[in-house]
């Protein structure tokens, strides 16, 4: 904890719907210790320079999830982002509201869509009346069963993942990383009795719209690793129901194609993904590819020593885990 200060320049996104037609950036410069959190700096601006700056904040210790925002273009909790490294790397600190949620004012966004997706995965225990909880005592759960939640109970619903997600931006059908991590938390809960129903629902409910870019995992301040939980959900969904959607059929087809030949058979993959009839729908695309890169559409040869591939699969394939 150094006590020397640095001069820190903040360019803060300002927008008041009553007076501003479009957003503007306001510059504030403060002398601060390098370990000062961005939130502390913003609150000092509010207290000492400009009380009209609006933002959400509460606990200042990364547990309430209020102060997620874009800090130098990354979704971060302002309370646990120190200014020193930001200044060292970017020379200044650009503070903007989260993405994928409409701006209400300054750094405050409308979180209605985020909460709606959270509600949509039915985040509560579903119980089978035929399998009641034990009366007057807690359910028995081993530490190993608790391990299966992985880090999902740490989620503070800050929406940093939602803000960073390009699939959320592109596709209104995608529930977003937080909602899917929450769904995973209920899928692996040994008390919940709707595991299969939940997995069947999400396989057709946007699970495969994830772009696997892992930006959510990068943004998550609590190490929930939403993209890994989405991957877990995909495996569990296929294990529970088989591959029923283009997305899941594509994944399974990819795996089988590589397994058999050591190379990707694009024609086979298209057929597996969209079905024999669906193949016609992809005909135009196929022709265009054939004209430019005919080798892609040709049947690939088997690589030598394809049995080595099998060894890799055997090493990786521990068998899809049973849901509970």
Partner 1 sequence: MIRHEVVVVGAGLAGQRAALAAVEAGRDVAVVSKLHPLRSHSGAAQGGINAAVGAEDSVDTHIYDTVKGSDYLGDQDAIEFFCREAGPTVVEMEHFGTIFSRAPDGSLARRAFGGAGFPRTIYAADRTGLALLQGLWERLGTEEFTLYSEWDLTDLLVRDGSVQGLVAFDRRRGEFEMIGARSVVLATGPAGRIYGHTTNAHSCTGDGLAVAYDAGAYLKDMEFVQFHPTALLESSILITEGARGEGGYLRNSAGERFMSRYAPHVLELASRDVVSRAIVTEVLAGRGFHGPYGDYVHLELMHLGKEKVESRLQEICDYSRHFAGIDPVTEPIPVYPAQHYMMGGIGTNIRGETNLPGLYAAGEAACVSIHGANRLGGNSLLETLVFGKQAGVAAAEHAERATASALDPADLDRSVAPIRAWSSRSDGEDPSTLRTEMQRTMDRYVGIYRSEADLLEGLRQIRALRARFERVRVVDRSRVFNLNLTDAVETGHMLELAETIVVGAYARTESRGAHSRTDYPKRDDARWMRHTLAKKAADGPQLSYSPVAYTRWEPKERVY
- Give the ranges where 30-176 is alpha helix by DSSP (H): 38-44, 83-90, 112-120, 143-147, 160-164, 166-170
Distance CA 120, CA 201 (A): 11
Beta bridge pairs of residue 130: none
Sign, CA dihedral 299-304-307-311, equals: negative
Of the candidate residues 124, 291, 292, 301, the single one contacting partner 1 (CB under 8 A): 124
Of the candidate residues 6, 94, 149, 201, the single one contacting partner 1 (CB under 8 A): 149
The CB-of-45 to partner 1 minimum distance in angstroms stands at: 11
The CB-of-14 to partner 1 minimum distance in angstroms stands at: 11
Confirm or reject binding of residue 120 to partner 1 (CB under 8 A): no
Nearer Cβ to partner 1 (108/252): 108
Nearer Cβ to partner 1 (44/255): 44
Nearer Cβ to partner 1 (58/244): 58
Distance CA 77, CA 209 (A): 26
The CB-of-258 to partner 1 minimum distance in angstroms stands at: 37
Contacts of 8 (CB under 8 A, 6+ apart): 29, 30, 31, 32, 36, 41, 83, 87, 92, 93
Of the candidate residues 24, 88, 119, 172, the single one contacting partner 1 (CB under 8 A): 119
The CB-of-109 to partner 1 minimum distance in angstroms stands at: 10
CA distance readout (Å), 145 to 142, 149, 178, 185: 5, 8, 21, 12
Of the candidate residues 12, 62, 207, 216, the single one contacting partner 1 (CB under 8 A): 62
The CB-of-181 to partner 1 minimum distance in angstroms stands at: 12
Of the candidate residues 191, 196, 214, 271, the single one contacting partner 1 (CB under 8 A): 191
Task: Build a one-symbol-per-residue string for 150-189: x at contacts with partner 1 by CB under 8 A, - elsewhere.
Answer: ---xx-xx-------------------------------x
Confirm or reject binding of residue 37 to partner 1 (CB under 8 A): yes
Confirm or reject binding of residue 306 to partner 1 (CB under 8 A): no
The CB-of-185 to partner 1 minimum distance in angstroms stands at: 8
| Residue 246 DSSP SS3 | helix
Cite the beta strand spans of the chain per DSSP E.
6-14, 24-32, 68-71, 74-77, 93-96, 103-105, 108-109
Beta bridge pairs of residue 70: 75, 96
Burial grade of 300 (CB within 10 A; 0-12, 13-18, 19 or more): middle
The CB-of-22 to partner 1 minimum distance in angstroms stands at: 16
Number of residues that bind partner 1 (CB under 8 A): 57
Distance CA 242, CA 166 (A): 27
The CB-of-203 to partner 1 minimum distance in angstroms stands at: 23
Sign, CA dihedral 40-217-103-88, equals: positive
Confirm or reject binding of residue 231 to partner 1 (CB under 8 A): no
Contacts of 236 (CB under 8 A, 6+ apart): 187, 199, 320, 321, 323
Of the candidate residues 7, 89, 130, 143, the single one contacting partner 1 (CB under 8 A): 143
Confirm or reject binding of residue 197 to partner 1 (CB under 8 A): no
Confirm or reject binding of residue 86 to partner 1 (CB under 8 A): no
**Which positions lie near partner 1, rule CB under 8 A?**
1, 3, 16-19, 35, 37, 43, 46-48, 51-55, 57-66, 80, 82, 104-106, 108, 111, 115, 119, 123-125, 133, 136-143, 145-146, 149, 153-154, 156-157, 189, 191
């Amino acid at each position: 904890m150094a006590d020397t200060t640095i001069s820190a320049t903040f360019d803060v996104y300002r927008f008041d719907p009553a007076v501003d037609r479009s957003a503007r950036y306001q510059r504030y410069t403060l002398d601060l210790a390098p370990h000062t959190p961005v939130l502390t700096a913003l609150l000092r601006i509010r207290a000492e320079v400009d009380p009209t700056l609006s933002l959400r904040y509460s606990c200042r210790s990364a547990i309430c999830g209020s102060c997620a925002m874009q800090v130098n273009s990354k979704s971060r909790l302002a309370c646990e982002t120190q200014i020193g490294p930001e200044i060292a790397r970017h020379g200044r600190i650009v503070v903007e509201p989260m993405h994928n949620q409409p701006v209400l004012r300054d750094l405050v966004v409308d979180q209605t869509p985020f909460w709606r997706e959270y509600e949509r995965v039915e985040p509560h225990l579903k119980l089978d009346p035929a399998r009641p909880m034990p009366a007057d005592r807690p359910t028995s759960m081993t530490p190993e069963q608790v391990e299966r939640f992985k880090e999902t109970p740490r989620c503070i619903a800050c929406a940093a993942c939602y803000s960073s997600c390009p699939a959320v931006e592109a596709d209104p059908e995608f529930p977003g990383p937080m909602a899917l991590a929450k769904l995973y938390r209920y899928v692996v809960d040994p008390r919940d009795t709707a595991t299969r129903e939940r997995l069947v629902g999400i396989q057709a409910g946007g699970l495969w719209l994830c772009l696997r870019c892992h930006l959510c995992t990068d943004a998550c301040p609590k190490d929930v690793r939403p993209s890994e939980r989405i991957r877990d959900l995909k495996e569990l969904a296929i294990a529970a129901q088989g591959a029923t959607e283009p997305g899941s059929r594509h994944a399974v087809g990819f795996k089988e194609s590589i397994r058999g030949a050591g190379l990707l058979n694009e024609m086979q993959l298209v057929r597996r993904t969209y079905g024999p009839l669906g193949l016609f729908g992809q005909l135009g695309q196929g022709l265009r590819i054939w004209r430019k890169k005919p080798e892609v559409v040709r049947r690939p040869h088997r690589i030598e020593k394809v049995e080595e591939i099998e060894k890799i699969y055997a090493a990786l394939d521990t068998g899809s885990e049973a849901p509970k």
